[in-house]
Amino acid sequence: MIIDSHQHFWAYNERDYGWMRPARMALARDYLPSDLAPLLQANRVAGTVLVQARQVLEETDWCLDLAERHPFIQGVVGWVDLCSPRLEEQLQRYTGRPKLKGVRHLLEDEPDDRFMLRPEFLRGIGLLGRYGLRYDIVIFP
């Protein structure tokens, strides 16, 4: 059985996906489950893990909604604000959404190269296990 462990969807607009310009212009179009499904079938890929492409709670909601409607999406790596004093509220919001497997934060986009050592970030990482979630680290070497 083949599982694609990292793929994205988006309904493209420049405001939300400005990171695609200019170097990634080939990506600057909608990419939705209907685009991927025939490729999965043709290549005998049983499922995917959908990974968020924007760092907002609405993106996590959207990814989970897609996962409920498209069985080939077997898991979601979403986003929550790991530094928020209201992080537990955010995590509780997703209790009962079994396809949420983990979260990530684009550390590479943080101007502070010690961001991941901040006490509030470490506290947030520490809370994930209580909710059965993993952390997907995103950094450049």
State the virtual CA torsion across 61, 78, 21, 111 in degrees, nearest 10. Answer: 120
Interval 50-70: pLDDT, tens: 999 999 999 999 999 999 999
pTM listed for this prediction: 0.92
98, amino acid identity = P
pLDDT of residue 17: 80
Q: What is the DSSP track for 44-98?
A: TEEEEEEE-SSSSHHHHHHHHHHHHH-TTEEEEEE---TT-TTHHHHHHHTTT-T
- Range 5-27 average pLDDT: 84
Q: List the domain range (segments joined by +) for residue 121.
A: 2-138
pLDDT of residue 45: 98
Could you give the percent of the chain with pLDDT greater than 90?
A: 79
Which CATH number belongs to the domain containing residue 90 in this structure?
A: 3.20.20.140
- Range 128-136 average pLDDT: 97
Say how many domains are in the chain: 1
Whether residue 82 is predicted with pLDDT greater than 90 in this model: the reply is: yes
pLDDT category, 87, cuts 50, 70, 90? very high
- Range 46-53 average pLDDT: 98
| 141: preceding bond cis by omega (within 30 degrees) | no
- Range 84-96 average pLDDT: 97
